[in-house]
Structure 1
Amino acid sequence: MTKTQGAEIYYDPYDLTIDADPYPVWRRLRDSAPLYYNEKYDFYALSRFDDVERALTDWGTYISGEGFVLEIIKAGVRLPPGNLLAEDPPVHDIHRGLLSRVFTPRKMAALEPQVRALCARLLDELSGAESFDFVADFGAIVPMRVIGMMLGIPEGDQEAIRDAGTRRHQLTEGEAPPPTDAHSTAQPFAEYIDWRATHPSDDLMTELITTEFTDETGTTRRLTREEVLTYTSVLAGAGNETTRRLIGWTGQLLGEHPDQRRELAADRSAVPQAIEEILRFESPSPVQGRVVSRDVEHHGGTIPAGSAVLLLNSSANRDERHFTDPDTFDIHRRIDRHLAFGHGLHFCLGASLARMEGRVVLDEVLKRWTDWEVDRDNAVLDHTSTTRGWTNLPVIIS
């Protein structure tokens, strides 16, 4: 296979029309151009489940240290220490180890009563409404409140921080967005970190400031202020963006599959399995960027060393080579594994938190409503280079 093969198939991660429904293009890639090359933006793409899974596992070949978003990779921007998604071992392992003690299933389970109380309060405020926005009135609020609570960010400041994060990778007119300045991205958290340094509390920010660890040089130390800033910025963004998308897709998919929604309402023990199918069917973070450290052979072609590669994990989650009837949404589907949270070294650290939030949200919604209809005419799909989901999803209660 050469670079020009598959030229009649065009995939552009910045094209708003493609992003509105990328699945037909991704199917054509899987079938006819499983190793795809985009000349305009100079990147390769892998779209089949087996290829994406292997690449996500082979961190020594598909490296993250040059960035995990295409526009950052192509601009040659070096992200500061503490951005786990843009780090390779050994630095990645040390930084991830600091956070892995926080994002455990046990600790997420301990957090569940607070998340449930938050969801109940927000939903009770909507009681009696004939319609509400599944995202703006609810789904965009829960994740930021939860991660803000974990970090110790005052509730009154969380919305502005969330909205600023949302704008960073937004697409306009189908062009690649400029790479964000990591320093300016982290600056909104500087005041909180400086105050918390002299006013410790029982929150994640305090733990980041005070925890000692052994770095890659063998030195025992605490995180620098810049590292704490980066950690906090990354956690706030990751904790908000993908879970908000998950909640939005939950509202849309179950709104458009009333029989399955009513089954879940009648037997909410099936909610966790339904969340896994939602994650597979509409993965909130659909594309992962990497750079190959050596020449790599795929499907008769070569990805040259130093090339940017997009791993299309959302395409992989619809690959009929791995999933039966993958374009059918089915809450009864038995899923051995999906790639919504990535795989291997960079498997999403907050996966247990996202799953818990998604499960609690759906459970609390179904306690109150068993029927809603999506107002598609007024629904707005957000377009970013890193996530995919709804900005607004109005639903009509019936």
Structure 2
Amino acid sequence: MTAPAPPAYDPFSYAVHEDPYPTFAWMREHAPLYRNEERDFWALSRHEDVLAALRAPALFSSRNGISLEADLWGPDAVKTSGFLAMDPPAHGTMRRLTSPAFKRAWVAAWEPRVRALARARLEPLLDRDEFDFAADFAAALPHDVMCEVMGIPAADRDRIRADNDLLNTCEDGSEVRGKATLDAGLRLAVYYVGLVQQRRRRPGDDLASALASARADGRPLTDSQLVAFLFLLVSATNESTGKLLGNAWYHGRQVPGLGRAGLAGRARDWGAETLRYDSPSQMMARVLAEPATLHGTRLPAGARIALLPASANRDRRVFADPDRFDLDRDTGRHIAFGHGPHYCLGAALAELEITVALEELGRVARDYEIDLARAERVHSPHQRGFARLPTILVRR
């Protein structure tokens, strides 16, 4: 009998997006250094390997960006990815311009406003028989928060979010972004340039204004650097935190009793275990700065490496019974927010948004239903989540 072919990992495949975890499990056990010849990259899937790579930016460099898409990878990646496409020390210089705004004390002071924004998004949905949890609430709330932090007017937020959704979509099997994605990126760039110029003329009490007056290495930031900051902070927030909330909501219906327990007071645990169990951050790319031997294979400088934190968070070497969703699990070793110098800048804010969102849902609902036949996943090489989750709340 012929042995079955090993599963193929392709971050641009819709089939992989539907459920990557069986493929990840096979890779961890049989191909911890996985090779995709067609896409010309290697992949690391074990927790130990991904963590070590994140801790070693001098070897696993971000200088070509974090995306394998053909038009986002290369020495010009900094133009679209900002400091994500930089290595220390330049990375630290740019990151420090924003980090004071995301420290835990600053985040804690924002809790009342985050809660008010959550209620503002949730209250109109309560009058509906059904609403789309993914679009109407999960993606909207973190986007509202970051837009408020940056000083983007409320009237513009939903339009910007729609373009951000297009910006992070891939076509099945293609590593080249389509026309709709490119057009969305252009519209966002034009909007952000206008916002930057406005803040230079009339600064306000917001992060965009603070960045517009900031200096790096003694020089003011250029318009292109400021636009890169806006792409990074606004788009990344919408992508990651919104997708995480959708994943939590989905598993709350799939795992018996989970949704009811989460709504009844386990919001923080619900969010934390979702980060480990089904992280929205699936893949990030690096380039080897010099030759290295990984799992007995000598790789040349310039080799493209895909790091898979979502696979690492299901590694049995670190998490017992990793394919079980466990509200009582110690999730302290998950790497959904990365590690090392590129650890997620907005991690504390994301944790607050996730907890507040689920708590506010628990305030008004004791259970819910999802029409799974009409649920739709997003298709991105980097992010896992839902574009649509038709939901009916069971009110308290």
TM-score range, shorter chain: over 0.9
**1:334 aligns to what SS in structure 2?**
coil
**1:234 aligns to what SS in structure 2?**
helix
**1:188 matches 2:186:** no
**2:87 aligns to what SS in structure 1?**
coil
**1:178 aligns to what SS in structure 2?**
coil
Deviation of 1:306 after TM superposition, in Å, equals: 0.6
Q: What pairs up with 1:14-25 in 2 under 5 angstroms? A: 14-25=12-23
8 Å Cα contact 1:256/1:373 also seen in 2: no
Give the aligned residue type for 2:123: D
Q: What pairs up with 1:1-398 in 2 under 5 angstroms? A: 8-72=6-70, 75-76=73-74, 78-80=76-78, 83-178=82-177, 184=186, 186-213=189-216, 215=217, 220-266=218-264, 268=265, 270-398=266-394
Give the aligned residue type for 1:308: R
Cα distance, 1:228–1:74 mapped onto 2, change above 3 Å: closer
Residues in 2 aligned to 1:52 and 1:230: alpha-carbon distance in whole angstroms = 26
Residues in 1 aligned to 2:329 and 2:25: alpha-carbon distance in whole angstroms = 20
Give the aligned residue type for 1:286: Q
**2:69 aligns to what SS in structure 1?**
helix
Give the aligned residue type for 1:198: R
Residues in 2 aligned to 1:50 and 1:73: alpha-carbon distance in whole angstroms = 30
Deviation of 1:260 after TM superposition, in Å, equals: 2.7
Deviation of 1:74 after TM superposition, in Å, equals: 7.8
8 Å Cα contact 1:119/1:142 also seen in 2: yes
Q: 1:3 maps to which residue?
A: none
Cα distance, 1:77–1:294 mapped onto 2, change above 3 Å: closer
Deviation of 1:265 after TM superposition, in Å, equals: 3.3
Which runs of structure 1 show a deviation greater than 3 angstroms over 4 or more consecutive aligned residues?
6-9, 72-75, 178-185
8 Å Cα contact 1:170/1:177 also seen in 2: no
Deviation of 1:382 after TM superposition, in Å, equals: 0.6
Residues in 2 aligned to 1:75 and 1:67: alpha-carbon distance in whole angstroms = 6
Cα distance, 1:242–1:160 mapped onto 2, change above 3 Å: same
**1:98 aligns to what SS in structure 2?**
coil
Residues in 1 aligned to 2:71 and 2:196: alpha-carbon distance in whole angstroms = 29
Give the aligned residue type for 2:55: T
Residues in 2 aligned to 1:73 and 1:306: alpha-carbon distance in whole angstroms = 17
Q: What's the CA shift string for 1:22-45, capped at 9, x where partnerless?
A: 101111101100011100010000
Deviation of 1:73 after TM superposition, in Å, equals: 7.9
Identity %: 38
Residues in 1 aligned to 2:310 and 2:125: alpha-carbon distance in whole angstroms = 33
Residues in 2 aligned to 1:172 and 1:293: alpha-carbon distance in whole angstroms = 30
Q: What's the CA shift string for 1:137-196, capped at 9, x where partnerless?
A: 211211111111111111111122222222223122322133987984533211111111
Gaps of 5+ in 2: none
Residues in 1 aligned to 2:384 and 2:211: alpha-carbon distance in whole angstroms = 30
Residues in 2 aligned to 1:80 and 1:298: alpha-carbon distance in whole angstroms = 27
**1:191 aligns to what SS in structure 2?**
helix
Q: How many residues matched? A: 386
Q: What's the CA shift string for 1:340-380, capped at 9, x where partnerless?
A: 11111100001111111000000000111111122110000
After the TM superposition, which of the residue ranges 253-262 and 310-319 deviates more from structure 2?
Answer: 253-262
Residues in 1 aligned to 2:150 and 2:252: alpha-carbon distance in whole angstroms = 32
Give the aligned residue type for 2:136: D
Cα distance, 1:288–1:80 mapped onto 2, change above 3 Å: closer
Deviation of 1:313 after TM superposition, in Å, equals: 0.6
Residues in 2 aligned to 1:109 and 1:143: alpha-carbon distance in whole angstroms = 15
Residues in 2 aligned to 1:75 and 1:14: alpha-carbon distance in whole angstroms = 15
After the TM superposition, which of the residue ranges 81-90 and 290-299 deviates more from structure 2?
Answer: 81-90
Residues in 1 aligned to 2:220 and 2:126: alpha-carbon distance in whole angstroms = 47
Residues in 1 aligned to 2:247 and 2:8: alpha-carbon distance in whole angstroms = 26
Residues in 2 aligned to 1:260 and 1:165: alpha-carbon distance in whole angstroms = 31
Cα distance, 1:75–1:288 mapped onto 2, change above 3 Å: closer
Cα distance, 1:96–1:320 mapped onto 2, change above 3 Å: same
Gaps of 5+ in 1: 1-5
8 Å Cα contact 2:151/2:206 also seen in 1: yes
**2:195 aligns to what SS in structure 1?**
helix
Give the aligned residue type for 2:109: A
Residues in 2 aligned to 1:190 and 1:345: alpha-carbon distance in whole angstroms = 28
8 Å Cα contact 1:242/1:387 also seen in 2: yes
Cα distance, 1:7–1:84 mapped onto 2, change above 3 Å: farther
**TM-score, normalised with respect to structure 1:** 0.92
Give the aligned residue type for 2:104: P
After the TM superposition, which of the residue ranges 239-248 and 249-258 deviates more from structure 2?
Answer: 249-258
After the TM superposition, which of the residue ranges 115-124 and 91-100 deviates more from structure 2?
Answer: 115-124
Residues in 1 aligned to 2:388 and 2:280: alpha-carbon distance in whole angstroms = 15
8 Å Cα contact 2:150/2:208 also seen in 1: yes
Deviation of 1:277 after TM superposition, in Å, equals: 0.4
Q: What's the CA shift string for 1:264-298, capped at 9, x where partnerless?
A: 333x2x42222110111111111010001122222
**1:297 aligns to what SS in structure 2?**
strand
